Amino acid sequence: MSQRTRLVRAKVAGSIYLGERTQADGSVVPSWSSTPEEVLTWLCDGFRFRFNQRRSTRSRYLTCEDRDGNRVIVEDPDHNPVLLPLGRRVDDLSDKQARQRHSHLAAMPSRVLQATERIERTDWFAAAKRRRTNVARGRRPGAMPGFRSKRDDARFVCWHNGGENAIYRRCGRRSGIVTISGQNPRNHKAPDGTIRWQIHLHVHLSQPIRPYTSIRVNLTRREVVFVNTPLPITGRVRSGEAIGLDRGVVHTVADSNGCFYDAPDTRIISSKIAWHQRRMAKSRLVAERRDRDYRGSKRYQAHKAGAARLARRQARIREDFAHKLSNALVKEHDFIGIEDLRLSSMTKRARGRGAAAKSTLNRLLQNAALTRIASLVDYKASLAGVHLVKVDPAYTSQRCHRCQHTVKENRESQAVFSCRRCAWTGNADYNAAVNILEAALERWARTSAAPPAAGSDADGGPAGSKGETDPRKGPGAPPGGTCDEPRTTRVAA
């Protein structure tokens, strides 16, 4: 995780060699600058240039269309795919060679040039992995990344490397300065004869900066991001509590203690976004009637920006909820059981659409919310040493958590569960969450190297039932006593 700060202003100490510039009359002259905007743009351009040089060493498959019009990979006689370079030219240069060959890289700090290698590599292999995952899940793989364009955000990365460059200094409660330093080449000293130069980035922050490994400057968005390792969950005490989580019908998440958590309602924002989108469609229609490009319309751009702003706001609200809830869950429990949404989404998709379209959409949204919470719980749990077990949710909503009786008819309605055998009646989501916790504890006891409750399987429930084996002896004493009825309806803070 990383810390985002706002770039307030930049100052340059010294004069920086920006390379050779071609003038209007065709003559080539060296140029220096101490204008912050010009210097930052030069850094971003240089970073992109070097990134693209590294990217040019990657290759792509040669494809062609077969008789049915599908794109297929061309293979050589040995059935190996034919590879082509990604761009028109391959620039396989070291940083030193690149500096010598391109004058605008000559004064670039080495911690900026070096960062391109890692950034390019991560970008490339993350995309390759994403494609493999997509294919494995039956989705379209998506394209591999290409070169960075001038139209993309102007940005660069500078390594910190334990204090070698991009040094941060705090100078107020909410402000600090990052200093990036470098030097001009010896044959292109600044006009006043100096070699060294510095750029001071004044940033506005909302929390103290933790130790970081690099900074990312996005000039277009005016932000500086400190890249650092995730903060371990602080203030956690071993509670011995275990909890199961289920996605709810009415609430976003239900837990096995009978608590429900609701994601903030952002329907108002959604409707505002839809309004902007309707206006966009209208101005598009008007522009087309007048035979103009709708993208040039000020009104269209204003609505587009408005919709994007609201969508970002909505995403922030959801993200805030997911972070707060996952934090609280990891902080208060030593064991978390959660349904494996990857398994359930597969089975759910097979259902029809039509009349159930709205509830399907709702379910998708809740799935998305729980997926996000699950992924946050996952990484926070691994930091805090909390056991997280994912279980197959099959039948967890139909099985009675008391007597293990599993029939479809137990589910009286979407929200109410009423057991046909033992007549337990209560909230269906709570029942499912308890089942998930029990399945998770059982699975954990089976897979962990030294099951803490080995041999105590005897006190199982009714004949042939699974579950209820030893949930009370798992990683600690789980939810106090028997809690059959949902106790509290807690809406997460």
Kindly state the smallest distance separating residue 275's Cβ from Zn ion, in Å.
49
Name which of 112 and 419 has its Cβ closer to Zn ion: 419
Binds Zn ion (CB under 5 A): choice among 405, 411, 443, 473:
405
Instruction: Please give the order of strands across the beta sheet that includes 214-218.
Output: 155-159, 214-218, 223-227, 2-13, 196-204, 175-183, 167-170
Q: Does 403 bind Zn ion (CB under 5 A)?
A: yes
Q: Does 400 bind Zn ion (CB under 5 A)?
A: yes
Q: Do 185 and 106 contact (CB within 8 A), yes or no?
A: yes
Kindly state the smallest distance separating residue 334's Cβ from Zn ion, in Å.
28
Region binding Zn ion by CB under 5 A among candidate stretches 10-18, 113-121, 146-154, 403-411: 403-411
Region binding Zn ion by CB under 5 A among candidate stretches 78-86, 253-261, 390-398, 417-425: 417-425
Tell me whether residue 246 is one of the annotated catalytic residues. Answer: yes
Kindly state the smallest distance separating residue 400's Cβ from Zn ion, in Å.
3
- Alpha carbon distance 220, 40 (integer Å): 11
Name which of 81 and 462 has its Cβ closer to Zn ion: 462
Region binding Zn ion by CB under 5 A among candidate stretches 85-93, 172-180, 411-419, 479-487: 411-419
Name which of 204 and 405 has its Cβ closer to Zn ion: 405
Binds Zn ion (CB under 5 A): choice among 422, 452, 454, 491:
422
Q: Among positive and negative, which fits the CA dihedral 239, 244, 245, 248?
A: negative
Q: Does 407 bind Zn ion (CB under 5 A)?
A: no
Q: What secondary structure does DSSP assign to 160-217, as a single string?
A: -TTTTSSEEEE-SSSEEEEEEEEE--GGG--TTS--EEEEEEEEE-SSPPPP-SEEEE
User: How many beta carbons lie within 10 A of that of residue 277, not counting itself?
Assistant: 14
Taking CB under 5 A as the rule, which mask of x and - marks residues 356-395 in contact with Zn ion?
----------------------------------------
- Alpha carbon distance 144, 127 (integer Å): 6
Q: Do 367 and 248 contact (CB within 8 A), yes or no?
A: no
Q: Which of 120, 246, 334, 438 is catalytic?
A: 246
- Alpha carbon distance 440, 423 (integer Å): 25
Q: Do 52 and 146 contact (CB within 8 A), yes or no?
A: no
Which residues are registered as beta bridge partners of 464? none
Q: Does 188 bind Zn ion (CB under 5 A)?
A: no
Kindly state the smallest distance separating residue 477's Cβ from Zn ion, in Å.
24
Q: Does 402 bind Zn ion (CB under 5 A)?
A: yes
Binds Zn ion (CB under 5 A): choice among 39, 180, 419, 441:
419
Kindly state the smallest distance separating residue 459's Cβ from Zn ion, in Å.
18
Name which of 285 and 422 has its Cβ closer to Zn ion: 422
Tell me whether residue 429 is one of the annotated catalytic residues. Answer: yes
What part of residues 424-443 is at the interface with Zn ion (CB under 5 A)? 424
Name which of 346 and 422 has its Cβ closer to Zn ion: 422
Tokens of 426: 């209560």
Helical (H) or strand (E) element with 454: none
Kindly state the smallest distance separating residue 260's Cβ from Zn ion, in Å.
22
Helix, strand, or coil (residue 267): helix
Backbone angles phi, psi at 42, to 5 degrees: -60, -40
Q: How far apart are the first and last CA of the chain?
A: 22
Region binding Zn ion by CB under 5 A among candidate stretches 3-11, 176-184, 335-343, 423-431: 423-431
Catalytic residues: 246, 339, 429
Binding-site ranges for Zn ion (CB under 5 A): 400, 402-403, 405, 419, 421-422, 424
